[in-house]
Amino acid sequence: MSSQKKNDMKTKQTIAVIGATGNMGSGISRSLAKGTDRLLLFGNDQDKLQTLLADIRAANPSADVEAHQRLTDVS
């Protein structure tokens, strides 16, 4: 099998970034979005999360990225 066919069949990895709205988390998320992996972004602040998601999609329209608010247990 040619190396091109192997690359075409390669499974995409999923990377979860917990704390994506923080300084380091957002920087890591923006950097990882330049690659080919699928990103799941988690953060406490929904507004910051949506802003980060929009920024990533504007800079990298082909980025496979989702954002989810991290729910915290307050009991």
Q: What predicted TM-score, i.e. pTM, was given to this entire model? A: 0.78
Helix (H, G, I), strand (E, B) or coil at 29: helix
The β-bridge partners of 59 are none
From 23, 67, 59, select the one nearest 41 (Cα to Cα): 67
Residue 4 maps to a domain: no
pLDDT of residue 61: 95
Q: Is residue 74 part of a domain?
A: no
Domain that holds residue 57: 12-69
Domain containing residue 25: CATH number: 3.40.50.720
**CA torsion angle for 41, 13, 9, 53 (degrees, to 10)?**
10
Q: pLDDT at position 11, please?
A: 82
The residue type found at 36 is: T
Structural domain tally of the chain? 1
- Residue 21 inside a domain? The answer is yes
Q: What are the tens digits of pLDDT across the range 1-59?
A: 455 555 556 788 999 999 999 999 999 999 999 999 999 999 999 999 999 999 999 99
Identity of the residue numbered 55:
D
Residues in the chain: 75
pLDDT attached to residue 49: 96
3 belongs to a structural domain: no
Q: Which residues contact 63 (CB under 8 A, 6 or more apart)?
A: 33, 34, 39, 56, 57
User: What is the reported pLDDT for 30?
Assistant: 96
Asked if the structure places residue 2 within a domain, the reply is: no
